[in-house]
Structure 1
Amino acid sequence: MSHEDMEHDHRDVERTFAALPPAHGRGFAGTWWGQAWLKALEDTALDTQQLKAGRRLARAGAVGAVSVRPGRITAVVQDSDRTTHRADVLLEELDGEQWDRFLDMAVERARHVAALLDREMPPHLVEDAAAAGIELLPGLGDLEPECDCDAWDHCGHTAALCYQVARLLDQDPFVLLLMRGRGERALLDDLQTRSTRRIEAPSEPDGVDAVEAYRSGDILPPLPPPPELPPEAGTPPSLDTDTPPPAGVDPAPLRHLAARTAVEAHRLLARALRFDAEELLTEGELTVEQDAVRLSVRGPGKAVADRLADGSARDREGLARATRAWCLGGVAALSVLEEEWAVTGETLARARAALESAWDEDERPSLRAKGNRWTVVGTPAQLRLGQDGRWWPYRKERGRWMPAGAACQDPATALASMEAAGGAEPA
């Protein structure tokens, strides 16, 4: 063996990783195999206070360079009082027969080798190895601590070392394979040799066994937790640049459209994350007229508002009323504003029953009905019945009926919400 080969062999059975910077504000394991490593630690340690101490030390960057060898990882860890301790964590190596079974299994499934070369640890590889009787990831009690602080269980120093190694595993799963007894170069050389023999040997038809394919659907890693909903929609990028817009392009409508798109994206994200966000749209595609009303929310400039009014087939005053309705209930509120329909049959019977039971007899207001609209006699107040059976309060302002609140199942509540808002003109 040449001197160069001896140096490669030495590097292959021992790797030293420089001390990592502090990990403030981030987790120690982003990959599922890094999380499995930490689970083995946290399930084994008997003293949770030592685990917390280890996390603090690791986050503070108190773990020095980490040496990884077959069966052992080592680092010097500095305590908060600046004393240092050598911490070791032991992990049982695979024997020769186990490595043979693992390598034969990996060669049979080319995707395993490809994933390792991409520095990934696919769940299929771990599951297939387990089926062959080989546990790659540590389990309960597999991470054995040794520290010169003389702790008999995992102490803060060995815990800090394990948390730091989780970060190394995220970057390179070959670190785990080295701990199990085989360095990267030797492992890849052996895989190459076995792959060559397999190619030269008579091969079976390509494909995956149906049972194996069906079984693999249950061994995918869990999905990460959903992100938190931002408190409000983001701010679109600014269009104010030194470059003038191309001919025929008006920046003002683009700015408004980008802002409304951000608001709609926030609403859709809220619904996807199952937050109790106000639903402004019903399912289904909006008409051009409805979408023009949606885009008019939050006061676009005059030029944009004029274009939206044209697109909504309304004048500016009509668009303002429609926008006010939209803000109270989306498509349903817009329909109640603009559509008058005859209430008949069972729907009329339910509406009358709701009005009869909403107030005590001596408190019931005098109502005059026309279609789906009940006007309170002698007042500027009105109740409108929606197609979904909800009641919408309306108030007459400057001679026009205007939406005055959100829908309610109870007509008395709807009317009371309008009266509480105040501001109605005299009858």
Structure 2
Amino acid sequence: MTEGNTIARSWWGKAWNKNLESYADYANRISRGKSYVRNHAVLDLQIREGSVEALVQGTGSKPYVIEVEIDVLGEKRWRQVVNLCNHRIDSVEKLVEGKFPKELEVIFTEKEYGMFPSPKEIHFSCSCPDYAYMCKHVAAVLYGVGARLDEDPLLFFTLRRVDIQDLIRRSVENRMDAMLKNAAKKSGRAMSETEMHDVFGI
């Protein structure tokens, strides 16, 4: 999942981890999981619609079971994401190819409207006996998500339970609507009938 001490190499994988580290609720706890990821203690990590399931090898003989639930991205928030993508349709289409162009970083990292989940949207449990708010095994899994997004960035849309094809369709529709509205407006540079007659005799 990781190479050397690097947990994520792509800008989107790094952005996922940086986002987690930016929240005060996680600041003193999330770093506890780095060594577990780097030491390949996250044995299995599966990303499904709205959830992550993983096994993490701790100090015991059996790995711990971690479950993470991510709230669904609401329709209002989704519309805001689509609006952020306006005029970036070429970049949006690259998402389907798994390229994740840097121009679309705003749709993930924008604090109020972006797709990255806030702490209140993340719910987790671990089978370990540590009763801390966030144990190191959960922290390792959250970092592990960033590493998995390196390998398959489209999994992020699965995690937030949104359809990337819907994003493309809506972005295209918004762009077409804007083009039609602009086409309907009279240009200030258009010649009047009188000017046409004076210049061209028609």
**Fold shared by both chains (TM-score > 0.5):** yes
Matches within 5 A, 1:13-412: 20=1, 23=2, 25-43=4-22, 44-45=25-26, 47-48=28-29, 51-52=31-32, 54-106=33-85, 108-127=87-106, 133-139=112-118, 143-150=122-129, 151-182=131-162, 186-189=163-166, 191-192=168-169, 195=172, 199=176, 202=180, 204=182
- TM, length-normalised to structure 2: 0.68
From the superposition, tell whether residues 193 and 128 of structure 1 become closer, same or farther in structure 2 (CA, over 3 Å). Answer: closer
Asked if structure 2 preserves the Cα contact closer than 8 Å seen for 1:40 and 1:141, the reply is no
- TM, length-normalised to structure 1: 0.36
CA distance, structure 1, for counterparts of residue 79 and residue 102 of structure 2: 20
Q: How far is the alpha carbon of 1:75 from its aligned partner?
A: 0.7
Asked if structure 2 preserves the Cα contact closer than 8 Å seen for 1:45 and 1:153, the reply is no
Q: How far is the alpha carbon of 1:95 from its aligned partner?
A: 0.8
CA RMSD between the two structures: 3.4
CA distance, structure 1, for counterparts of residue 141 and residue 20 of structure 2: 11
From the superposition, tell whether residues 156 and 114 of structure 1 become closer, same or farther in structure 2 (CA, over 3 Å). Answer: same
Which runs of no fewer than 5 residues in structure 1 stay unpaired?
1-19, 206-427
Please list every run of at least 4 consecutive aligned residues from structure 1 whose deviation after the TM superposition is greater than 6 angstroms.
129-132
CA distance, structure 1, for counterparts of residue 80 and residue 27 of structure 2: 34
Which runs of no fewer than 5 residues in structure 2 stay unpaired?
184-202
**Aligned-residue identity in percent:** 24
Deviations 1:121-149, CA, capped at 9 Å, x for gaps: 44542436777952212456654432122
Asked if structure 2 preserves the Cα contact closer than 8 Å seen for 1:107 and 1:191, the reply is no
CA distance, structure 2, for counterparts of residue 124 and residue 26 of structure 1: 27
Asked if structure 1 preserves the Cα contact closer than 8 Å seen for 2:108 and 2:116, the reply is no
Instruction: Point out which structure has higher relative CO (alpha carbons under 8 A, 6+ apart).
Output: 2
Q: How far is the alpha carbon of 1:157 from its aligned partner?
A: 1.2
Residue 86 of structure 1 aligns to a residue whose secondary structure is: strand
Q: How far is the alpha carbon of 1:165 from its aligned partner?
A: 1.3
Asked if structure 2 preserves the Cα contact closer than 8 Å seen for 1:102 and 1:132, the reply is no
Matched pairs, number: 179
Larger Rg: 1
CA distance, structure 2, for counterparts of residue 178 and residue 27 of structure 1: 24
